[in-house]
Amino acid sequence: MRTRYGGLLTLSAATLMYELALTRVFAVAQGYHFAFLSLSLALLGFGASGAWLARWPAARSPERTLSLLAAASGLAIVGSYTVLNWAPFDAYTLAWDGRQWLPLALNYGALIVPFLLAGLATGLALSAWPESTPELYAVNLCGSAAGSLAVLGALATLGVAGTVLVASALAWVSAGAFGWAAPGFRRGWWCGLTVGVAASGALALARPAALDVRLSPYKPMSYALRYPGARVGFQGWNAYSRVDIIESQGIHSAPGLSLRYAGPLPEQYALAIDGGPLSPLTRSPSPAEAGFLAGLQGSLPHLLRPGADVLVLDPRGGLDVLLALRLGASRVDVVAPNPLVLSAVRDRYGDYTGHIFDDPRTRITVGGPRSYLARTPGPFDLVVFSLAQAYRPMAAGSYALGEDYTFTVDCFVAALRCLAPRGILVTQGWLQSPPAEALRLLVLARDALAQLGIADPRPHVVAYRDWGLVTVMVQRMPFGPEDLAQVRAVCEANGFDLVAAPDLEPGEGNRHHVLAGAGNERAFASVLEPQGGAAFVAHYPYDISPVTDERPFFSHTFRWAQLSEAWRRLGRSAEPFGGGG
C-alpha cells in the first residue's frame, strides 16, 4: 500500500509542477495573457478523465494500469512541451489566417493529454481502493502541494525546460512505485523507467539550447536578436519571470532625449523580462558622453530639486538611478520588485554600469513599490516612476490585459504622501495618437490630488513633451514662479513643449514638436479643469477614466463604441485581435 501512496504522491507533484511551468511557458513564448490557458487545460483534462472512468470504470490489475498511465504521463509531459515549443500557433494572425487553427488545435490537444492521464490515474486509484479514500485524497493533496513548492526552486535553478524534465522524471518515478507491486512486469520495464529518469535528470542539468522556450517572433526581444552580432549575455529564471540581457551594438534607448543634443551616446545593452519590452542597461558614461543625461526629459525634476532625496520605483536597467546620481542627488532609494533583475544588473553587469547600485548614496529595497510606499515614512524630494513599458500604438489591445498596481490613483496618493512639502512625483508615458495613456496619467494625478483635498489640480501639475514622450510632475504645494521659470527655460533649451502648467497661455505649447490640429493640446488642459474635466473624460473616444486598485488595467482604454474601428483595423493592426486598447 505504501508504494501506491508513493506513486500517487509523485504523480500529483509532477502534474502540478507541469501545470505551473506551463504558465511560464505561455507567458514567455506568447504573452502574459495566455498563461491562464494552463489552468483551463488542467481542468479540461481532469474533467475528461472523470467522464472516461464513468464510462469504462473497471481495471483488472489496477497497479499495472496505474504504472502504465504514470509512464505515459511522463512521456506526454515531454511530448506536449515539445509540440508547444516547436509547432506554436501564431496568435497575431489567428483572427484572419485559418491555417493557424490547425497548430492551435494541435497544441491544445497535446497539452490536454498529460492532465487526462494524471486524472485517469488519480480516479482509478480512488475507485480501485475505496476503503483508502481519505488516505488517497490526503496523499494527492500533499503531492500537489509539494509540486507547487518544488516548482519555485526548480524554475530558479533549472529554468522552465529543466522543470518540465523534472516533472516527467517524477511521473516515471511514480510509474515505478505503482508497478512495484504489479505482477507481470519484466526487467525491461524497470530498465526503461530508470533510463527515462536518468535521461530527464541529465538533460535538466545540462539545459541544452534546443529545449529553451522559443519566443514569439513578435516579441521585442526577438526583434532585438535579429540585429547582426546580437546575443544573449545573461539569462535567468525565477518563479515569476525570465530575465535576459541582450548584448548588441544596435541597442540605443534614451527616452525623452532632446533632438537638440548632438553629443555622443554611451554604449547600451538591453534588459528584457519574459522577452517583453526592452529597458536600457547603460554603460557608465565617459565625461564626453555624460551630457546626454541633461538632455533627457527626466533631468528637469532633478534641476528643480538639486541635491534631492530621490525614490526610484522599479528602475530595471537603472537609467533613472544613473540620472539621479550624475545630477547630484544626495540619496537614492531604489525599490526593485524583481530580485533577479537586481542581481543581473548589480552583480553580473556591475562593472559595465559603473556599479550604480553599489554607490554609497544608493539604498536598495527588494519588494513591491506599493508595499514600500505603504510603510516608508519618507519624506522624499522626488518620487520617480520609472518608464518600464516600450512604446505601443493605441491599437495594442493585448496590453490591456496586464494589471499594474503602480499606475493607479491609490498608488499616486501613497506616493504623494511620501513627498516633502515641495517634493515632486515624476511619471512618464508614451505619446500616442490619440494620447489616451498620457491623458490618463493626468487623470490619475487629478484624482489623487482630489483625495488629498485639492479641488483644483492645475496649480499642482506640470507636464511637457517631445514627439513621443510625456513627462508629468505633480506636487502637493502649487508650483511657484521660480519653478515655472526654470521649467520654461529648460523646455525652451531642449525643444520640449509644455502641455500643462498653472500659467500656460493659449498657443504657448505645440511649437517645437507640432501635433496635427489643436485638439490634443486642448485635451491636456480639459482633463485638469475642475469644472468639466469629468465630463471631458466621460465623452473622450477612448476610456481614460481613473484606474484604481479594483480595476488596475492602466492600458485598458477600450470602449464598445470603438468596435467598428477595431473591425476596420483587422489585418492591418500591429497587434492581435484587432487591438483597440
Question: Is residue 156 one of the residues assigned to a domain?
Answer: yes
Under 8 Å between Cβ of 414 and 374: yes
pLDDT at position 181 is: 67
Residues 178 and 76 in one domain: yes
CB atoms within 10 A of CB 265: 16
Return the CATH number at 202: 1.20.1250
Residues 245 and 308 in one domain: no
Residues 566 and 521 in one domain: yes
Question: Is residue 518 one of the residues assigned to a domain?
Answer: yes
Domain-ending residue, one of 282, 306, 329? 282
Question: Is residue 358 one of the residues assigned to a domain?
Answer: no
CA distance 22 to 28: 10
Question: Is residue 396 one of the residues assigned to a domain?
Answer: yes
CA distance 228 to 145: 46
Residues 452 and 540 in one domain: yes
pLDDT at position 577 is: 43
Residues 206 and 226 in one domain: no
Residues 205 and 234 in one domain: no
Whole domain around residue 428: which residue ranges? Answer: 297-314+368-578
Q: Which three cell numbers stand for residue 217?
A: 517572433
* CA 419 vs CA 426, 560, 572: distances in Å: 11, 39, 45
pLDDT at position 576 is: 46
Residues 252 and 273 in one domain: yes
CA distance 110 to 38: 12
CA atoms within 13 A on the CB side of 274: 19
Which residue pairs, CB below 8 angstroms and at least 24 apart, start in 301-305? 301/382, 301/384, 301/424, 301/426, 301/473, 302/327, 302/328, 302/329, 302/382, 303/327, 303/486, 303/490, 304/424, 304/473, 304/483, 304/486, 304/487, 305/381, 305/382, 305/422, 305/423, 305/424
Domain-ending residue, one of 157, 182, 211? 211
Residue listed under C-alpha cell 532585438:
224
pLDDT at position 480 is: 95
Question: Is residue 332 one of the residues assigned to a domain?
Answer: no
Strand partners, 189: none
CB atoms within 10 A of CB 330: 12
Residues 206 and 256 in one domain: no
Q: How many domains does the chain have?
A: 3
Residues 207 and 273 in one domain: no
Residues 162 and 228 in one domain: no
pLDDT at position 231 is: 96
Residues 207 and 88 in one domain: yes
pLDDT at position 542 is: 85
Under 8 Å between Cβ of 268 and 280: yes
Under 8 Å between Cβ of 512 and 496: yes
CA angle 81, 49, 142 (to 5 degrees): 75
Residues of the chain with pLDDT under 50: 393-398, 576-580
Question: Is residue 290 one of the residues assigned to a domain?
Answer: no
H/E stretch holding 500: strand 497-500
Question: Widest CA span of the chain, in angstroms?
Answer: 91
Domain-ending residue, one of 211, 231, 246? 211
Question: Is residue 333 one of the residues assigned to a domain?
Answer: no
Under 8 Å between Cβ of 464 and 471: yes
Task: Give first-to-last CA distance, the chain, whole Å.
Answer: 56
Residues 406 and 456 in one domain: yes
* CA 510 vs CA 486, 501, 506: distances in Å: 19, 14, 10
Q: Which residues contact 380 (CB under 8 A, 6 or more apart)?
A: 308, 309, 310, 311, 333, 418, 419, 420, 423
Question: Is residue 355 one of the residues assigned to a domain?
Answer: no
pLDDT at position 565 is: 66
pLDDT at position 389 is: 73
Under 8 Å between Cβ of 486 and 496: no
Q: What is the pLDDT of residues 403-441, one digit of tens each?
A: 788 999 999 999 999 999 999 999 999 988 788 889 999
